[in-house]
Amino acid sequence: MLFSTGYQTSLGTISTLVTKGEYVISDKENHACIVNGCVLAKGGFAEFVRFKHNDMDDLDKVLSGLPTKAAKLIVSDGVFSVTGELVNLPKMNEVAKKYGARILIDDAHGIGVVGNGGRGTVSNFDLESEVDLVMGTFSKTFASLGGFVAGKERVINYLKHLSPAIIFSASPTPASCAATLKALDILEEHPELVNNLIKNADKMRKGFAELGFKIIPNKTAIVPVIVGDVDKAFVFWRKLFDNGIFVNTFIPPGVPPNMSMMRTSYMATHEDSHLNKILEVFSKVGKELGLIS
Q: CB burial class (10 A; 0-12, 13-18, 19+) of residue 50?
A: middle
CA gap 254, 270 in Å, rounded: 27
Q: Check whether the bond before 217 is cis (ω within 30° of 0).
A: no
Q: Look up 72 and say whether it is catalytic.
A: no
> Which position among 4, 76, 123, 140 bears the catalytic label?
140
CA gap 186, 188 in Å, rounded: 5
What are the start-end ranges of the E strands in the chain? 2-3, 23-27, 47-51, 72-77, 102-106, 133-137, 147-151, 214-215, 222-228, 248-250, 260-265
Whose CA is closest to 25, among 110, 104, 107? 104
> Which position among 4, 31, 76, 109 bears the catalytic label?
109
Q: Look up 53 and say whether it is catalytic.
A: no
Q: Look up 140 and say whether it is catalytic.
A: yes
Half-sphere exposure of 125 (CA within 13 A, CB side): 20
CA gap 154, 33 in Å, rounded: 24
> Which position among 4, 26, 76, 81 bears the catalytic label?
81
Chain centroid offset of residue 151 CA: 18
Enzyme catalytic residues: 81, 109, 140
